Amino acid sequence: MKTITKEKIWLSSPHMGGGEQKYVQEAFDTNWVAPLGPNVDNFEKSIVEFLGGNTNVAALSSGTAAIHLALEILGVTSGDEVICQSFTFSASANPIMYLGATPIFVDSEKDTWNISPKLLIEAIEARIALGKKPKAIVAVHLYGMPYKADEITRISEKYGIPVVEDSAEALGSYYKDKKCGTLGAIGILSFNGNKIITTSGGGALVVKDEAIKKKAVFLATQARDDAPHYQHSSVGYNYRMSNILAGIGRGQMEVLQSRVDQRRFNYTFYKKHLAHLSEVEFLDEPSGYSSNRWLTCILTPSFEIREEIRLALLEENIESRPLWKPMHLQPVFIEYPNYSDGTSEDLFNRGLCLPSGSNLLESDLKRIVELILTKI
């Protein structure tokens, strides 16, 4: 007997706007098939226009590369300690390891699920007491929800420790009228295939000072000295974005706001149809916060109920995903110090990301909601 496969619903799939191919074609027509060119320049310019304020943007090969360069520019080196939000994707922490530094993980608070100001102070003071003042703080706007920027910035200034603002999931979110990506000493963005807009793979560094952008581009293009021959006085990377991919990025920037609107619509739809259930909890925006709602997440009463919903969706060919497993519980990072109170572990155990793509149809959302309603 032939089995009928239900149509797949992805967690968060790429959503082209239609304008991308024109810019990619331009790159072919003009032979700018290189990790520089007009698409890279114009993509950067469109991000600067979107973010506003006093920003300079360097388009790179990935968000991970951007975090790596950000930490290097801030002077992180072998033997240093770097504080990192524990509740995140591993790419927030991996670059700390690339530099031979030690990650110090800090747990989240319940209002935004991001780095806890209270535990951050506790961690900084404990490390200073040990004679190891941290060199940087990696704070993350997880799932698009801004971290408590006023508090975190105040702590950063008080102790003189700069923030690398991991805005990989938060392009289009804002905090008290400031766009995410512009809130830290250095901001980073990701254009990975699952993000709110994508270049298939890519990222960007956001800085205030043009000289810092120049340094980032220098490091991202093999740190070549100013000489007619190839001369190098420092170690460089091959981290610049390709002009082909930047063409995709230009087209995507033209539809960014509609992508944010659609993802916010997804959240509202889920909330409208599921919030009455005592088994389903949503994370509201605190006043003054606006999340791009990259992924809509729900909290269930227990690991068992979370799994019941996830497996029921899977059975119907619908992809969902447990919330990020905190870094301080990951085998690769288990030996590093952490300052935790169980918040992110609890979120991980009970939380689920629902399909959230901007290309979901209302019929897809209905299918998901109806299934959850029958399972609870």
Residues that bind ligand PLP (CB under 6 A): 62-64, 88-89, 91-92, 140, 166, 168-169, 190, 192, 203
> Least distance (Å) from ligand PLP to the CB of residue 96?
12
- The H or E element spanning position 207 is strand 203-207
> Least distance (Å) from ligand PLP to the CB of residue 53?
22
> Least distance (Å) from ligand PLP to the CB of residue 173?
12
Q: Which is nearer to ligand PLP, 68 or 367 (CB)?
A: 68
Q: Which is nearer to ligand PLP, 198 or 300 (CB)?
A: 198
> Least distance (Å) from ligand PLP to the CB of residue 87?
10
> Least distance (Å) from ligand PLP to the CB of residue 155?
20
> Least distance (Å) from ligand PLP to the CB of residue 370?
29
The pair phi, psi for residue 79, each rounded to 5°, is: 95, -15
> Least distance (Å) from ligand PLP to the CB of residue 305?
26
Work out the burial of residue 292: count CB atoms within 10 Å of its CB; fewer than 13 is exposed, 13-18 middle, 19 or more buried: buried
Spatial CB neighbours of 120, under 8 Å, sequence gap ≥ 6: 83, 106, 137, 152, 155, 339
The span from the first CA to the last CA of the chain, in angstroms, equals 31
Q: Which is nearer to ligand PLP, 73 or 91 (CB)?
A: 91
| DSSP classification of residue 61 | S
Q: Which is nearer to ligand PLP, 140 or 217 (CB)?
A: 140
Q: Which is nearer to ligand PLP, 239 or 339 (CB)?
A: 239
- Please give the Cα distance from 65 to 72 (Å, whole number): 11
In our burial notation (b when 16+ CB lie closer than 10 A, e otherwise), range 150-179 reads: ebbbebbeebebbbbbbbbbbbbbbbeeeb
The pair phi, psi for residue 321, each rounded to 5°, is: -150, 135
Residue with smallest beta-carbon separation from ligand PLP: 63
* Tokens matching residue 218: 């220098």
Q: Which is nearer to ligand PLP, 23 or 324 (CB)?
A: 324
Which of 95, 139, 96, 135 is CA-nearest to residue 115? 139
> Would you list the DSSP string of 95-153?
HHHHTT-EEEEE-B-TTTSSB-HHHHHHHHHHHHHTT---SEEEEE-GGGPPP-HHHHH
Q: Which is nearer to ligand PLP, 82 or 365 (CB)?
A: 82
